[in-house]
């Protein structure tokens, strides 16, 4: 690659449902905060990358174009990235290549989602992503197929439902310390509380599912010479990876996310990582459902197949662990919220803050020199990974 790439600043709006702001305004708020954090002006940005999910959510056709003013893309090279829930991490991969290639020196990456304007519920919009002849007539939605995947994962590894519930307990507690956490989703819960909540589609319970959220996040990235000119403490993007499996999810064994492993291996190779379990010190795997955090930790090769739940029971993934790997110290999507495209960038920002030592009450106890953020989306077949270091 032609040149190294660093993160100089980050911004994030409050996560909430039914925000009064439009998608443009949310994008503007996050972009402005990222520029202030980087001590830069929009005139110093060479290009803008926007990540946002289905147009249906905002009810605006070609909403990438519609959001460009708010994201600072006016009269600049501006591109939209969209791979469902994987978009937030994919957007920084997109920006990384624009800068690493030498085409641009600076890039503003913005990820926005305003889901609450999709009525009566965004799950209705998701039905349109399925094959219109083979799957859509069945009335499927994402909750429906995730319950099948969770059941398969539990059955193959003989994982108790109570262990899956521990992910919700951990992340909702961590989310209490996140200043942007959506009101009402973080808190001190017990396994009993989780399993006493309503069954959405067995074995998925309501408190194992991340909520509908409106929010935006933004990051400023720059080339090596720009980074060294502007800061003494740049956070480097060491490795990126992504993979897209077939959309025919019924043709895959759902117990293991191969596409996440392929994306992770690509990122590890770029970063020169040989043993991720020793060289990754903090991780933000994508957790829209409780079981997905464990599923993804195994796909990221941070645990053997079926081992992540056992490590969870031992506290290996806890935020205050000194010998394990803290997982979702932010609170994740279960404890902060899930504005689809913006959620992945929230996870990148958490790793950025952990490496800078600026995560406040969420700062992990163990020393961190390198961290990983991962997202996932569409029909359970998109894996996106980014590795950051000091």
pLDDT digits (tens, 9 = 90+) for 369-390: 999 999 998 777 899 999 999 9
User: Does the pLDDT at position 62 exceed 70?
Assistant: yes
Output the pLDDT for position 130: 81
- What are the Cα distances from residue 68, in Å, to 32, 61, 184, 222? 14, 13, 31, 20
Helices (H), 72-201: 87-100, 122-126, 142-157, 161-174, 191-196
Output the pLDDT for position 1: 57
Alpha carbon 23 to its chain centroid, in Å, reads: 19
User: Does the pLDDT at position 84 exceed 90?
Assistant: no
Higher pLDDT, 233 or 374: 374
Q: Is 340 helix (H, G, I), strand (E, B) or coil?
A: helix
Which residues are CB-neighbours of 325 under 8 A, at least 6 positions away? Answer: 277, 280, 281, 282, 283, 302, 316, 317
Chain segment 254-273, per-residue pLDDT in tens = 999 999 999 999 999 999 99
Structure tokens at 357: 């030592």
């Amino acid at each position: 690659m032609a040149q190294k790439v660093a993160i100089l600043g980050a911004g994030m709006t409050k996560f909430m449902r039914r925000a009064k702001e439009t998608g443009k305004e949310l994008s503007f708020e996050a972009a402005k905060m990222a520029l202030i954090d980087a001590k830069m002006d929009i005139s110093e940005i060479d290009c803008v990358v926007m990540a946002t999910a289905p147009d249906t959510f905002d009810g605006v056709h070609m909403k990438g174009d519609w959001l460009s003013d708010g994201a600072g893309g006016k009269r600049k090279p501006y591109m939209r990235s969209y791979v469902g829930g994987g978009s937030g991490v994919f957007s920084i991969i997109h920006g990384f290549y624009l800068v690493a290639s030498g085409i641009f020196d600076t890039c503003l990456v913005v990820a926005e989602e305003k889901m609450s304007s999709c009525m009566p519920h965004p799950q209705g919009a998701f039905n349109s992503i399925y094959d219109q002849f083979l799957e859509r007539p069945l009335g499927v939605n994402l909750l429906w197929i995730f319950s099948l995947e969770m059941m398969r994962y539990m059955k193959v590894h003989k994982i108790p439902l109570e262990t899956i519930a521990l992910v919700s307990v951990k992340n909702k507690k961590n989310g209490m310390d996140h200043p942007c956490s959506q009101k009402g989703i973080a808190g001190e819960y017990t396994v009993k509380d989780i399993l006493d909540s309503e069954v959405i589609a067995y074995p998925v319970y309501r408190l194992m599912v991340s909520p509908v959220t409106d929010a935006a996040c933004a990051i400023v990235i720059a080339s090596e010479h720009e980074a060294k000119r502007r800061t003494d403490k740049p956070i480097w993007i060491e490795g990126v990876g992504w993979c897209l499996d077939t959309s025919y999810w019924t043709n895959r064994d759902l117990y293991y996310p191969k596409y996440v492993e392929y994306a992770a291996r690509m990122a590890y190779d770029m970063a020169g990582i040989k043993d991720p379990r020793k060289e990754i010190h903090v991780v933000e795997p994508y957790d829209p459902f409780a079981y997905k955090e464990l599923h993804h930790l195994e796909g990221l090769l941070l645990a053997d197949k079926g081992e992540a739940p056992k490590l969870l029971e031992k506290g290996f993934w806890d935020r205050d662990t000194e010998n394990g790997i803290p997982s979702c110290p932010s609170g994740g999507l279960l404890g902060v919220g899930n504005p689809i495209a913006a959620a992945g960038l929230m996870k990148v920002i958490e790793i950025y803050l952990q490496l800078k030592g600026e995560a406040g009450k969420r700062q992990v106890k163990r020393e961190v020199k390198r961290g990983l953020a991962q997202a996932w989306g569409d029909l359970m077949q998109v894996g996106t990974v980014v590795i950051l270091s000091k």
